[in-house]
Structure 1
Amino acid sequence: MIKSWLDLIEKRVLRTMETPGPFSPFSFDQVLAGCAGIYRAGVRLRYAMYESGLLKTRRLDCPVIAIGNLAVGGSGKTPMAVWLAKMLVEQGLRPVVISRGYRGTLENEVAVVSDGREVFLDAKTCGDEPYMMAMEKAFPVVVGKDRYKAGRMALEYFAPDVIILDDGFQHLKLERDLNLVLLDYTLPLGNGRMLPAGRLRETLCMAKNRIDAVVFTRCPADAFQWDTFQKSAGRHFADDIIKKLLSVPLFFCTHEPFVAQLLPAGIHNNTKAFQSWSLKGKTAVLFSGLARNDSFVQSVQDIGVTVADHLEFCDHCRYNEADIKRIISRAKALNTDLVLTTQKDWVKVNPVCFGDVTVAVIGIRLCFSNPQGIERFILNNANG
């Protein structure tokens, strides 16, 4: 009973976050707007305490690049961290990615998830995103709520040239040399309201003096120019962004889906990647637990898949046996070619449970309109 009520409240809050307003007096939305005012005051107080020196910022003996956003939800922070780490490796540098480990079981501990070759922790222990990045086996990953302490561990174990903070823009305890802020191209600032009436962690005005560059994610392939952006779905807040970030470099990228894993029925111990395998013309049942499940549907449709059904779960969902049975039953009932899910979701299920259905796991790559430009900007500015 309690879980049902909590699920109902969560859905209602999420619906409010997508509503531009104005809200009706005495409505549930208006209550959330009042809570947002309290949250805004708390954020301002916290920032004032850092500015006054009451709260201290500490520095690591290594350049630090923070990747973050202004709004909660899937703006592509993890794919950006992966892209950045791999780019730095290609430049002959030694990056380490540090993640908070949201919803992992480590709580206040710090730990090495991967040394870049071997993965030591599972997704339940370290969290979904750190595990996904560790599975790249291309760079070390360290997890810890206290990013300074995690950074000290990274320095001791790996002597990195650069530390990357995944989702670290609001983590003011640790000083950084470069702040990259990701904004979703389709709706950069959500409905313009702060949590819980909207998706904003902080407003653009609060953040503008800390932003070194903006990366617009989820851009359409033909919208890589700022003048095109001004005419797009994000136009509602474009004027505000332009006025407040006049001198900030802007970069644009698309989210390119690919087949990260293909697991034919009966062979679910296969971990080989099939990145060139085409799903075009296939029918599928989708399941995902993301901040924006609709974005997964769009990605799948973009590669030519016919979506027979989409089973949506809450963000960071931990799938149980009943959930898996429901997914498989739906795929069989609709007689689809396969089941599709995301890398983030696949790390939280037991592949053996899908033994008699074919599963494809979809990954996301970032493709920049000007890759040389953003690479040059990062390499020139990472040292402060």
Structure 2
Amino acid sequence: MRSRIRTRIESVMTGPAAAPAISLAGFLSVLGTVYGGMTKLRAGAYGRGYLSVRRLPCRVVSVGNLVLGGAGKTPMTIYLAQQLQSMGFRTAVVSRGYGGRAERTGGIVSNGDRLLMGSADAGDEPYMMARILRGVPVLVGRDRYLAGKAAVGAFSPEVIILDDAFQHLRLYRDIDLLLLDASNPFGNGHHFPRGMLREPISGLSRADAVVMTRWPGDIPPVPSTGVPACRKGSQRLPLFHTAHVPHIRRMDPGRTSRDIPTIQDAAADASPAVVFAFSAIARNSDFVNSLNSAGYTVMGTRFFPDHHRYSEGEIRGIIEAAKGVNAGMLATTEKDIARIGAGIRWPIPLIVVGVTISFGCQAEAFHRFILDKLGSSSPGEVT
């Protein structure tokens, strides 16, 4: 029953903007109007100084978006951490750790050299970032200020990246990067729970730059000065464009999920394969599109709600379903693999699909923008 209600509400949230007033959508519209008004009042209270903003004694870069679901925040955070590290900045990442046991208490997921938490404690995205990033500590905590203080005390970073923190207004940031999915930047234009907006579109004005993700086709040779909605005061915001590039690795039959960190990239010259896809991410359809674009034939799918943790029985069911449609491989995402028991032994090949961010020919302009903003900022004082 609960699952059916959730599915129905999600269909309204992602459905068309227009709907009858006397309907579930109409009821959710009323709630959305209240929610949007409250978030606008809250942002205004921070902006006018009625609510206090705390500072960390280092530079802070926030990565976030306006809508619920995936706009590419995690791959963007990874990209930014790697770039800042290559520029010579001591860097750390702080994430809320949504769904992890350490979300409330806070903690260190990785010290930059080794993992100190599993995905059940850290949450899916922080665990994945910690597994990928080398030399960059990753910490979690609902209170990003306390998590940031812990990062400063343990690792003395020069820059802290806040993952998914555009609405976390109680912590000062030197750069606010706002990500918008080029294919659907504002959902149906309604606020949660009628739509996907976390806050009014006017929240764009807090950003220092807008990054359009999943840009279709060729990336423009230079970033633009934004669109009319993208303003900060009288100035249009810089508008960058990025593409999501699939990164595919393959695990041979007979290995277990413990072997995931050691598996190799799928051979570029491998012939296209028939796969059975399963995932539990914000936009499962995007995963299937990535597989199709990479030349795989998807014979069947099994999708679960975002952040779902798989049971052994569910994995056995997925394997049997794949065999039932004569799929030669299983396919899942890098986020999903962290939520599968380490002892699962895979009887058929498994491909794991991750995503990397590419700014294409705008990379140099983006790096210059980041350096200019960091160079002109002064770290605050711990309070």
TM-score (norm 1): 0.91
Matched, 1:106 2:98: no
Give the alignment partner of residue 116 of structure 1, picking from 108, 112, 120.
Answer: 112
Mapped contact 1:184–1:216 kept (Cα < 8 A): yes
Matches within 5 A, 1:270-281: 270=259, 271-278=261-268, 280-281=271-272
> Deviation of residue 351 (structure 1)?
4.5
Matched, 1:358 2:355: no
Match of 1:87, SS state, is: helix
Matched, 1:181 2:187: no
Matched, 1:250 2:242: no
> Deviation of residue 108 (structure 1)?
2.1
Which deviates further from its counterpart, 246-255 or 65-74? 246-255
Mapped contact 2:205–2:230 kept (Cα < 8 A): no
Matched, 1:374 2:370: no
Mapped contact 1:262–1:272 kept (Cα < 8 A): no
Mapped contact 1:98–1:147 kept (Cα < 8 A): yes
> Deviation of residue 277 (structure 1)?
2.0
Match of 2:294 in 1: 303
Match of 1:352, SS state, is: coil
The letter of the residue matching 1:90 is S
What runs of 5+ residues in structure 1 fail to find an aligned partner?
231-237
Match of 2:343, SS state, is: helix
1-structure distance, mates of 2:197, 2:322: 36
1:203-230 C-alpha deviation (Å, 9 max, x unpaired): 221x1331100111011232537999x9
Matches within 5 A, 1:203-352: 203-205=200-202, 207-222=203-218, 224=220, 240-241=229-230, 247-259=236-248, 261-268=249-256, 269-270=258-259, 271-278=261-268, 280-352=271-343
1-structure distance, mates of 2:317, 2:326: 14
The letter of the residue matching 2:60 is V
> Deviation of residue 246 (structure 1)?
5.7
1:246-273 C-alpha deviation (Å, 9 max, x unpaired): 62111111101011x4221112243324
Match of 2:59 in 1: 63
2-structure distance, mates of 1:156, 1:243: 34
Q: 1:132 to 1:183 in 2, by over 3 A?
A: same
> Deviation of residue 322 (structure 1)?
2.4
1:282-334 C-alpha deviation (Å, 9 max, x unpaired): 01000111111111011111110000111111001111122112211111111
Match of 1:131, SS state, is: helix
The letter of the residue matching 1:248 is L
Matched, 1:166 2:163: yes
Matches within 5 A, 1:12-27: 12-27=8-23
How many residues align? The count is 370
2-structure distance, mates of 1:10, 1:245: 42
What runs of 5+ residues in structure 2 fail to find an aligned partner?
378-383
Match of 1:49 in 2: 45
The letter of the residue matching 2:128 is M
> Deviation of residue 350 (structure 1)?
1.9
1-structure distance, mates of 2:220, 2:345: 40
Match of 1:193 in 2: 190
The letter of the residue matching 1:309 is G
The letter of the residue matching 2:55 is R
Q: 1:245 to 1:72 in 2, by over 3 A?
A: farther
Match of 2:264, SS state, is: coil
The letter of the residue matching 1:379 is L
Matched, 1:146 2:135: no
1:88-119 C-alpha deviation (Å, 9 max, x unpaired): 11111111000000001124212111011100
2-structure distance, mates of 1:327, 1:118: 31
1-structure distance, mates of 2:234, 2:305: 34
Q: 1:227 to 1:182 in 2, by over 3 A?
A: closer
Which deviates further from its counterpart, 22-31 or 65-74? 22-31
1-structure distance, mates of 2:200, 2:36: 9
2-structure distance, mates of 1:31, 1:244: 35
1-structure distance, mates of 2:363, 2:214: 15
2-structure distance, mates of 1:78, 1:31: 33
> Deviation of residue 56 (structure 1)?
1.1
2-structure distance, mates of 1:334, 1:272: 29
> Deviation of residue 363 (structure 1)?
0.8
1:14-51 C-alpha deviation (Å, 9 max, x unpaired): 11122223211210011110110110121122123323
The letter of the residue matching 1:208 is L
2-structure distance, mates of 1:329, 1:342: 19
The share of aligned pairs that are identical, in percent, is 37
